[in-house]
Structures are given as structure tokens and as C-alpha cells.
Amino acid sequence: MPTAEARVPTERASRYLVQFCRHTSQMSRMRHRPPGRHGVPDVPAVEHAEWSDTAGTVRFARGSCTLRAEPTALTLRVEAADGDALRALQDGITRRLRTIGRRDRLIPRWHPSGDVPASPPAPAGRRPGRMRAPAWVAAAALAVVAHLGLAASTWGRWGADALLTVVAVKVLVVGAHLLLRRGGWRPRGR
């Protein structure tokens, strides 16, 4: 029986294990199989999923996936009936982990069983690509200074008004986004 393993560095392994298993459990209760999207093969049929905060098992029609949450990584082991089923399960699991772990950029690197290299520790600190509060304050202060400087001349008044309008719209959009996300709102289809 072909097997493969992956070790995904993350400080939130338990969270991703539970989220992955909960999603696949919901898939097992679906009456229909979701169609493959453009160029994406059909999702492997899920038969059963069970999990705790530290371990989980998902049984598919043609194999299974065992998950283990460690302090610095999520460990995955996939067993399948044949090589094609193994690749299909690896692809499906990888797609789902990339989706739920996009903020932490989770990407499983699969290796034949028993050949899993040691992975570097997960990066500590803030997530990449996010501005911290002082950076936002500095950007807002710069916008106010630019507005005041442009408003001092007659020619720059309309430019200053346009700049202030853009800044105000940006603040409203970001504020609304943060409030809606904090309240648990999610757009349909996600």
C-alpha cells in the first residue's frame, strides 16, 4: 500500500488539524459530490473523519489520512490503495491545507513514507504581509501632512481634497472590513 508523509511547520497545528478534519467530516455528510472546477479534479470521496486537538484520521474511499499536531508542526501521513489514489489524495489535501492556511502559507511537501526530512522551525512573530498599527498611524499622519501642505496653495486645493477623499474612503473600507470579519461575517461561497 503506497504511503506518503509531510511535515508542515506551523505554530497553530492543532487549529489546522481540527479545521481540516471538521471540513472533511462535513464533506462526508454531503449528498452530492462537488464537481471539479476548471482544471481541478474531483474531490476524493470522504467516508469518515474523527479528531481531537492533537490527532485526527480521515478515511476516504480509496485511502486514509492521519494527522498529528505537534508544538511546531502538523504531520500528515497518507495511505492509498494505489499510486493514482495516493496522488489524488495528496493533491486534494494540499489544496485544502493551502486554502485554510493561506495566512500562514501552509504548503505540505510530500515524501515517500519513512523519508520525511526535518523541517525548519515555524517562523515566530507576526504574519508576513501585514502592516502593524504604528505603520498605519504613520501612513495616516503622512496623508494629513500632505493634505495640509497641498491645501496651502490655491492650485493644490482640489488635489488635497481628492487625496483626503481617497484616504477617507480607504479608512472606511478597511474599518468596515475589520468590523465585519471580527463579527464572523463571511461572503457567500467561501
CB 44 within 8 A of CB 92: yes
pLDDT per residue as tens digits for the range 117-135 = 444 444 444 444 455 566 7
pLDDT at position 164: 76
Residue 167 and residue 73 share a domain = no
**H or E element, residue 99:** helix 83-100
Residue 149 and residue 97 share a domain = no
CB 16 within 8 A of CB 71: no
- 75-35-32 Cα angle (round to 5): 90
Q: Tally the domains of the chain.
A: 2
pTM (predicted TM-score): 0.56
pLDDT at position 35: 52
Q: Which of 80, 112, 144 is the last residue of a domain?
A: 112
Complete edge-to-edge strand list for the sheet that includes strand 111-112: 46-51, 55-60, 63-69, 73-80, 3-9, 111-112
Range(s) of the domain holding residue 70: 3-112
| Residue 18 predicted with pLDDT over 70 | yes
Q: Computed over its alpha carbons, how large is the radius of gyration of the chain?
A: 23
Tell me the pLDDT band of 29, cut-offs 50, 70 and 90: confident
Tell me the pLDDT band of 65, cut-offs 50, 70 and 90: very high
Instruction: Determine, yes or no, domain membership for 123.
Output: no
Distance (Å, whole) CA 98 – CA 96: 5
Residue 148 and residue 106 share a domain = no
Q: Which of 51, 79, 112 is the last residue of a domain?
A: 112
pLDDT per residue as tens digits for the range 163-184 = 778 888 888 888 777 777 666 6
Distance (Å, whole) CA 9 – CA 34: 30
Residue 138 and residue 99 share a domain = no
Residue 10 and residue 53 share a domain = yes
- CA-to-CA dists, residue 122 to 8, 9, 13, 78, angstroms: 9, 5, 10, 22
